[in-house]
Amino acid sequence: MSFIRRNTALAAFVLLPLLAAGSHAGPAAAEPGGMPRVVVELFTSQGCYSCPPAEAILGELADRDDVLALEFHVDYWDYIGWKDPFASAAFTERQRAYRGALNARYVYTPQMVIDGRMDEVGSRRMAVEKKIRAAYDAKHARPAPTVSLSRAPDGAVTVRLAGAPDGKEYEIILAAFDDRHSTEVLRGENAGKVLISRHVVRGFRKLGDWIGGPAEQTVALDGAMQADGLAVLVQEKGYGPIIANALLRPGGS
């Protein structure tokens, strides 16, 4: 697939053949506003007894304008009696990659990773809020590229980028998520509970690499990528800081 490069000397966003190219049409949703968002990734499992309080906090974060909340269900709790219907080995792989990037001793649930910069136990509300504020301050401390995400009438989405970060390489990642799920757990550590999950990631794809400059690409969505909402992350290679993001909430807002 070719990527539209308005300045080939600056833009280098090479798409991988994960999604088919789509035709560009008028966007159905507005591009995101100027308020920076902090990305909070919760790694959780319906088989984890200590995870529901963290999922409740993530649900509150999902409704905030200054946070982009995403819930990743890992699969390593499935063996104890309840197979999490939203779990994916790819999400477990992402969490394990963060272990090395953040110099953590082990992976655990519930873990929140804040802007790719730091992590915290997801049920520790005060500590999570403190690190969200620190990540928000870090965003203001340096110029950030602009990124937008819009949806065309045919269902394709367009990602647009601008700015010259700092000469580093970045990955452009697209996440598709469902707004809300209610699950009655029949077995395992949470047997008998009805769990409410928000912004549950269903599809997660790397679109390509970028080193700065104006660039855009329109892609068609299929399979798990046809979820309620979409988010695009601009993340330093090697599971580093997430320096910019854009969000299409369920309903296209």
In this prediction, residue 166 carries a pLDDT of 77
Whole-model pTM: value is 0.87
- At 36, which amino acid appears? P
d(CA 83, CA 132) in angstroms, rounded, equals: 31
In this prediction, residue 164 carries a pLDDT of 64
- Tens of pLDDT along the chain (253 residues) come to 323 343 333 334 444 333 333 333 333 332 344 568 999 999 999 999 999 999 999 999 999 999 999 999 999 999 988 999 999 999 999 999 999 999 999 999 999 999 999 999 999 999 999 999 999 998 877 778 899 999 988 889 999 999 866 788 999 999 999 999 999 999 999 999 999 999 999 999 999 999 989 999 999 998 889 899 999 999 999 999 999 999 998 876 5
d(CA 196, CA 193) in angstroms, rounded, equals: 10
The pairing of beta strand 67-73 with beta strand 38-44: parallel
In this prediction, residue 159 carries a pLDDT of 96
DSSP string, 111-123: EEEETTTEEEETT
Written as six digits, the tokens of 174 are: 């697209």
In this prediction, residue 71 carries a pLDDT of 98
- The neighbour count for residue 231, using CB atoms within 10 Å, is 23
In this prediction, residue 34 carries a pLDDT of 55
Written as six digits, the tokens of 121 are: 């136990």
Q: Which runs of E-coded beta strand occur in the chain?
A: 4-5, 14-15, 38-44, 67-73, 111-114, 118-121, 146-151, 157-162, 170-184, 194-210, 215-219, 229-236, 242-248
